[in-house]
Amino acid sequence: MPPIPGAISTRGVKIAAVVPTTLIDYPDRVAALVYTAGCNLRCPFCHNSELVLPEAVNGLSLIQENALVAMLTDRQTFLDGVVITGGEPTIQSDLRQFIEWIKGLDLLVKLDTNGTRPEVLEALLEARLLDYVAMDLKAPTARYDELTGVRVDPDAIERSIHLILERAPDYEFRTTAAPTLTAEDLEQAAAWIAGAKRYILQPFVLPEGKRLVEPSWETKAALSEGELHAVWDRIEPRFGDGGVR
- ∠ CA(172), CA(173), CA(174), 5° rounding? 120
pTM, entire model: 0.93
Q: For 144, how many CA atoms within 13 A lie in the half-sphere containing its CB? A: 20
Question: Do 195 and 239 meet the contact criterion of CB atoms below 8 Å apart?
Answer: yes
Question: Do 62 and 16 meet the contact criterion of CB atoms below 8 Å apart?
Answer: yes
Taking the C-alpha atoms of residue 49 and residue 100, their distance in angstroms, rounded to an integer, is: 28
Structural domain spans, the chain: 15-244
> Positive or negative CA dihedral for 121, 124, 128, 129?
negative
- Average pLDDT over all residues of the chain: 92
Of 13 and 175, the structure prediction assigns the larger pLDDT to 175
Taking the C-alpha atoms of residue 136 and residue 130, their distance in angstroms, rounded to an integer, is: 16
Alpha helix locations (H) across the chain?
54-57, 65-75, 95-104, 118-126, 144-148, 154-167, 183-192, 225-235
Question: Do 37 and 3 meet the contact criterion of CB atoms below 8 Å apart?
Answer: no
pLDDT in tens, 131-182: 999 999 999 999 999 999 999 999 999 999 999 999 999 999 999 999 999 9
For residue 221, what are the CA distances in angstroms to 71, 176, 183, 206, 213?
Answer: 41, 13, 13, 12, 16
Torsion from C-alpha of 85, 179, 23, 166, nearest 10 degrees = -60
Element (H, E) at 170: none
**DSSP three-state, residue 15:** strand
pLDDT in tens, 16-57: 999 999 999 999 999 999 999 999 999 999 999 999 988 888
Which of the four pLDDT bands, split at 50, 70 and 90, describes residue 10? low
Nearest Cα residue to 25 out of 112, 124, 116? 112
The separation between the first and the last C-alpha atoms of the chain, rounded to the nearest angstrom, is 21
- ∠ CA(87), CA(91), CA(95), 5° rounding? 100
- Options 2.60.40.180, 3.20.20.70, 3.40.50.2300, 3.30.590.10; CATH for 15-244 is 3.20.20.70
pLDDT of residue 2 exceeding 50: no
